[in-house]
Amino acid sequence: MSPIENCRALIGRTNTWLLGMATDEEGMSTAEYAIGTVAAAAFGAILYTVVTGDSIVGALTGIIDKALKTSVG
């Protein structure tokens, strides 16, 4: 799976989990807090991987180079 597919899958699972938590009338247990923390850490790791990947860095570099080389008037 690519990093973007991993990110989409994680977001889908997180949304499903959050929807379940929003409709539950009881408070979260320690295990649920632990799962939420792990999910947030995994999401952060995947997001970091996507943002620091070559395609994103290359795209941002291209945008900045184009902006700096644009002539005014």
The domain in which residue 49 lies consists of 3-69
Predicted TM-score (pTM) above 0.85: no
Q: What is d(CA 55, CA 17) in angstroms, rounded to the nearest whole number?
A: 30
Taking only the tens place, the pLDDT of each residue in 15-50 is: 777 777 666 556 667 888 888 889 999 999 988 888
7 and 46 Cβ atoms separated by less than 8 Å:
yes
Percent of the chain with pLDDT over 70: 85
Arithmetic mean of pLDDT over the chain: 79
How far apart are alpha carbons 8 and 18 in whole angstroms? Answer: 15
Structural domain count, the chain: 1
